[in-house]
Amino acid sequence: MLVTFICASAVFISDKAGIFRQNGYSYYDLAALDDYRVIQQLWVWDGFYDFIKSNPLDIILFGNSHSNMNLNAINLSLSSGTYCYNLGFGNTTLTDVYFTMKEAFEIQRPKLAVVETFCIYCVDNYSSHNLSNTSILAQLFSFEQRRNFRQKLLSLPILFSSDNYLAALSNTIRNHSFIFQNSEQIQKNIDKKNEYKKYSELRNEYFFGQLQEPFSVLNQEIIDRRYGSDFNKIDASSIIISDEAKEYIEKIAKLCKDNKIPVIFVTTPCYPKIVDNWEIFHSKLNAELNKYDIPYLDLQANCDTNLFTPQAFQNVYTIGIWQHLSPYGSNVATNFLSEYLHNNYPNIINRNDEINFQNIFYNFYEYFYYHSVSDNDLINKGFYKNKNGGNYLVKEVDFIVGQGSDFNFTNRTDGNRIILKIAGNKDVTTKKINVLVAATYQNQKINTWIEMEYLPQYFGLNHYVFQCQLNKEVQIDDVLDVQIN
């Protein structure tokens, strides 16, 4: 009895420490991901529970990596004036998403749930008890991170076959062979646990579940070489929505109805030249969703290539619909979603004027694309406010000192920024815009014109956003003029 207790205690302690955890996202076999991607995924439930201790959540995003990489919860919060969180886990199926939703809804009732659809068909015609080793690992990782033990036990026989029960409940049991075959991974996990603690201690802002990867994006040379006339496109008409996926579409519809939470499904796009006959699959999926009156926003159908340019897509998953969006593309998809919510769910609360909302998001890098610099800000500055310029209104010109931590891996630099927000006719986005500033550089006072660049990913707002990145040694003392030609 004592031996059993000691062994059980040792397994429990080892599991909590993650000593026998597999190499994170080893099913991608990309060591470069391990340092930050796994750590961010370990933060997902931590961040969720941390946030709801003192704040409500208005919108929760669900899905797999196409949710937490393609939809940016911070930008959605800022553009919609709501508290949003992303509970996506890489490479998991809709069945796993359902149980993630159950745990979330047990302690938090958002005003809207959003499901990114790739979890329906990331494994074609999937069945939870007949997944590949790759998909089982993903499901195990997601299962392991969930906190509600009762819900985990209820989901265990559905997500896993009986021979995987112990593996699901214990990474020590699952990977005990590491003692003899992979001691390096054990040491790595011990080191990574220390690193995870260090990152957690450094983190002085809420984590909203989104994930970004610093990989290269598509460009015309890659497109010409890879997606020529001999490229075999993915035939979307052949994608099968499995019986299990159909069952869990129905279950999600019922779960949301029982909890009085509206739900929508969203498809974020891959590069259009990768896939063919998408309209056929769209009709299949839409028909299933229509059975339960679930709205469907499909950004793959009639993909807006003016905004989803090649730079919107990562040059990582080179073939198939596994391709993720870049940080730029994620912002485009997020603002399409925000625009859709504004048009179809106008009664979702708008927290933009709440002091707590402003305090939470003010130090995030993206805040000033959507909102103004506070009059009490002693670091960043707002100039040239509400100046009429013919058909346009210059709402403000902001000087932003390079702030914000890099835990969310968005497209940040160490330098300072000038952000210009203009309201009026959209043709302003095609104009050449220069800002005359009084600046200090290397202890010298100068007046100089700065050319601004339009940021098309921040659309659907009541203004258009322009920016110029500055050397971190440049300080802007005043804005003297704005020219629109």
**Which residue(s) pair with 265 in the sheet?**
115, 296
Q: Is 16 exposed, middle or buried (0-12, 13-18, 19+ CB in 10 A)?
A: exposed
Over 50: is that where the pLDDT of 445 sits? yes
Higher pLDDT, 44 or 198: 44
Cα atoms in the Cβ-side hemisphere of radius 13 Å centred on 332: 26
pLDDT (0 to 100) of residue 310:
92
On whether the CB atoms of residues 289 and 297 are closer than 8 A, the answer is: no
Q: How confident is the model at residue 150 (pLDDT cuts 50, 70, 90)?
A: very high
How many other C-beta atoms lie within 10 A of the C-beta of residue 20? 22
In whole angstroms, give the CA distance from residue 408 to residue 374. 23
**Which residue(s) pair with 276 in the sheet?**
235
Percent of the chain with pLDDT over 90: 55
β-pairing verdict for 387-389 and 296-298: unpaired
In whole angstroms, give the CA distance from residue 263 to residue 260. 9
Which DSSP helix (H) or strand (E) runs through 13?
helix 2-17
pLDDT (0 to 100) of residue 364:
86
pLDDT (0 to 100) of residue 211:
74
pLDDT (0 to 100) of residue 166:
80
Just give the CATH number of 2-344.
3.40.50.1110
Q: How confident is the model at residue 295 (pLDDT cuts 50, 70, 90)?
A: very high
Over 70: is that where the pLDDT of 4 sits? no
Collapsing DSSP states into helix, strand and coil, what is residue 17?
A: helix
Mean pLDDT value across the chain: 84
Which structure tokens are listed for 254?
Answer: 């019922």
**Which residue(s) pair with 264 in the sheet?**
114
Over 70: is that where the pLDDT of 320 sits? no
Cα–Cα nearest to 445, from 481, 477, 419, 468: 477
Which DSSP helix (H) or strand (E) runs through 397?
strand 392-400
Lowest pLDDT segment from 147-151, 169-173, 302-306, 359-363: 169-173
**Which residue(s) pair with 423 in the sheet?**
393
In whole angstroms, give the CA distance from residue 360 to residue 376. 15
CA distances from 477 to 121, 404, 435 (A): 53, 22, 13
Q: Is 140 exposed, middle or buried (0-12, 13-18, 19+ CB in 10 A)?
A: buried
Residue keyed to tokens 């969006």? 325
Which structure tokens are listed for 27?
Answer: 């099913």
Largest CA distance in the chain: 85
| Residue range 5-41, pLDDT digits in tens | 455 555 555 655 566 665 544 333 333 334 455 666 6
Q: Please name the residues in contact with 22: beta carbons below 8 A apart, sequence gap of 6 or more.
A: 137, 171, 174, 175, 185
Q: How confident is the model at residue 322 (pLDDT cuts 50, 70, 90)?
A: confident
Over 90: is that where the pLDDT of 340 sits? yes
Residue keyed to tokens 């265990």? 156
Domain ranges within the chain, ordered by starting residue = 2-344, 372-484
| Residue range 47-102, pLDDT digits in tens | 899 999 999 999 999 999 899 999 999 999 999 999 999 999 888 999 999 999 99
In whole angstroms, give the CA distance from residue 42 to residue 142. 9
In whole angstroms, give the CA distance from residue 381 to residue 403. 13
Over 60: is that where the pLDDT of 444 sits? yes
Q: How confident is the model at residue 349 (pLDDT cuts 50, 70, 90)?
A: confident
- CA–CA–CA angle 199, 28, 216 (5° rounding): 75
